Amino acid sequence: MSKVADTVVGFIGLGNMGGGMSMNIAKSGYKMIVHDLDRSAATPILEFGAEWADSPKEIAEKCDVIFTSLPGPVEVEAVATGENSLFEGISENSVWLDLSTSSPTLIRRLSDTFASKNATVMDAPISGGVRGAQRGLLAVMVGGDRDTFDRLLPILESFGDKVTYTGDIGAGSICKLMHNSIGYGMQMILSECLTLGVKAGVEAEALVECIRNGSVGRGNLLNVTLPETYFKGVFDPPNFALKLARKDVALALELGREYDVPMEAASHAYNELTAAINRGWAEQDSRIALLLQEERAGNIEVRLGDDDDK
């Protein structure tokens, strides 16, 4: 990366997330030029010393590195190739990084478009919320050219404390979409179990504390259990036997019927565990049931190397 003083950074989209990220870049010493549909959103960073641009095109004309933080694919495409767009103003060797949660297919197509001007496109969606954006505590999932990633790492680390290179263009967006889908799926099973637990007579405070203190709340699934079993493809000897896992879920469903609480997500888990038992896997580790989805996806294997087994 060139010296901070020599790098002009553009930032488009100064909302709740973009406002915090752009300010952290500016606080790291980079010269900033910013744009937003609502100029008042730029007030804090303009007062800090950034310059204003009237359009994405002007940003692209004046900046070496450009970030966008936008609501979704429609806005990303409009800023990229619409009227007074980035593409109209971008020059050779400039880099555009899209921080939005957007479409991997779109960013790959736009990358090809910008390559006609010898400009580089990266997708770099983020996770961590508004507070994380303000404090520089964000996960940044970057897809695109590896050398460009290495060169821009100091800027990325100005607003993200966990920056990961994910692979070719579009890989960052795929990681973000998978991350968010997991989170919202977990919310569904969580809401089922919390409502059932409270309806069955447990105080919400006690129930939440028990979940926080248990294996789920401690993050053991991703950090311990899956690395020891599923990510290695090793299910024997069992950490917790499949037949016992189904027994636990069956008891929860029985309680749900008793208290008239629908348990759609838990029912799906029960069905998966049952299908795995019917494969003859009852005595193996319960995580072996995850192989059913690998099979449905076309025999895709999700395995980590020893270096990733942490």
Query: Could you confirm whether 176 is annotated as catalytic?
Result: yes
- Residue 155: count of CB within 10 angstroms of its CB: 22
Closest CA to 101 of 60, 148, 68, 146: 68
Query: Per-residue pLDDT for 6 more than 90?
Result: no
Given this chain, do its domains 4-175 and 214-308 carry the same CATH topology?
A: no
Q: What is the pTM of this model?
A: 0.94
Q: What is the pLDDT of residues 71-89, one digit of tens each?
A: 999 999 999 999 999 999 9
Q: What percent of the chain has pLDDT over 90?
A: 96
CATH number of 214-308: 1.10.1040.10
CATH number for domain 4-175, candidates 3.40.630.10, 3.40.50.720, 3.30.230.10, 3.40.1110.10: 3.40.50.720
Q: What is the pLDDT of residues 232-272, one digit of tens each?
A: 999 999 999 999 999 999 999 999 999 999 999 999 999 99
User: Cα(267)–Cα(273) distance, rounded to whole angstroms?
Assistant: 10
Q: Helix or strand or coil: residue 144?
A: coil
Q: Helix or strand or coil: residue 269?
A: helix
Band the pLDDT of 3: cuts 50, 70, 90: low
pLDDT at 305: 83
Q: Helix or strand or coil: residue 292?
A: helix
Q: Helix or strand or coil: residue 9?
A: strand
Tell me the domain boundaries of the chain.
Answer: 4-175, 214-308
Question: Could you say which of 3, 27, 31, 176 is catalytic?
Answer: 176
Query: Per-residue pLDDT for 55 more than 50?
Result: yes
Query: Per-residue pLDDT for 307 more than 80?
Result: no
